[in-house]
Amino acid sequence: MRRPFVRALNGSLVLAVVAGVIPLVSAAPVAAGSVVVGGFPVDISEGPWNVALSSRDRFGGTRAGQYCGGVAVSRTVVLTAAHCMGADVLGAPPNRVRDLKVIAGRTDLLSDQGQEIPVRDTWVNPGYDTSTNAGDFAVLRLAEPLAGSSVVTMASAGDAAYEPGTAAVVYGWGDATGGGDYARSLRAAHVHVLADALCERAYPGGDDGTYASGAMLCAGEAEGGGDACQGDSGGPLVAQGKLVGLVSWGSGCGRPGSPGVYTRVSDVVRALGWGRGLRGPHAVP
């Protein structure tokens, strides 16, 4: 996995940019199993809420400027990882990146399928802790709406989808092997929601981060295997048809004893007041 992928990007970012590829931010490799490490190809129609974050100015055109993932939670609102919006990744604050876009409805990044929509506004969680990786989420507002079918339901607190043992799927266009083999087409990996205790043992505190069950979700396979990886940051973890996590961080990709750590979506809903029908700057239309 990755630590917050952004840290991992610092050293490898320059090489990734030269190659036209950008890894997710992560502590060691980037977090969430290469979504695809141990994964398989899927068509965007199987997960239409998947979007790619893109800046060709920053990351080149080899992969349409894709460097992170995101997920549509309304026709004009996308959730992603806070570390994907860092100036250390984008080269400037996100509101100063002229060509920051969301690519939606596209399986192959280099096809003309779907839409490329400019990001109108960004809000990065001010409580994001780069030391522990807690609060790793950001809200992007789009300049024009996505297709109505491109929205996923967010799982609220207490939903059975968060129960350990629940089958889940993580998606992305990131590293598919953990060795820098970035996918051009969307991939997915089957994983399971894991007990918090497993990630608490794996990440008790250190350079990678500190697992906090209230804000994070542990997922993957205890023996290693399917996982997200560099370039998958901010992408969705879906269980029982609902969004439960955002690819955030980890140590390596698909390693035994080092599960992927995801931002817990119920904590995002709580922090933004979406479960209370909030009306205001963070409201979901």
The residues assigned a catalytic role are: 83, 136, 233
pLDDT of res. 31: 35
b/e burial code for range 82-112 (CB count within 10 A of at least 16 → b): bbbbbeebbeeebeebeebbbbbbbbbbeee
- What angle is formed at CA 81 by the lines to CA 203 and CA 201, rounded to 5 degrees? 10
Task: Check: pTM over 0.95? Answer yes or no.
Answer: no
pLDDT of res. 276: 55
Say which range, 23-27, 41-45, 105-109, 280-284, has the weakest mean pLDDT: 23-27
What's the whole-number mean pLDDT along residues 104-132? 96
* CA dihedral over 249, 68, 219, 226, signed as positive or negative: negative
Do strands 153-154 and 242-249 pair parallel, antiparallel, or not at all (unpaired)? parallel
Q: Report the half-sphere exposure of 138 (CA within 13 A, side-chain side).
A: 27
What's the whole-number mean pLDDT along residues 155-181? 91
pLDDT in tens, 260-275: 999 999 999 999 999 7
What's the whole-number mean pLDDT along residues 159-182? 90
pLDDT of res. 149: 81
- Cβ atoms of residues 260 and 219 within 8 Å: yes
- Per-residue pLDDT band for 182 (boundaries 50, 70, 90) equals confident
Higher-confidence residue of 235 and 34: namely 235
Higher-confidence residue of 120 and 16: namely 120
- Per-residue pLDDT band for 16 (boundaries 50, 70, 90) equals very low
- Per-residue pLDDT band for 195 (boundaries 50, 70, 90) equals very high
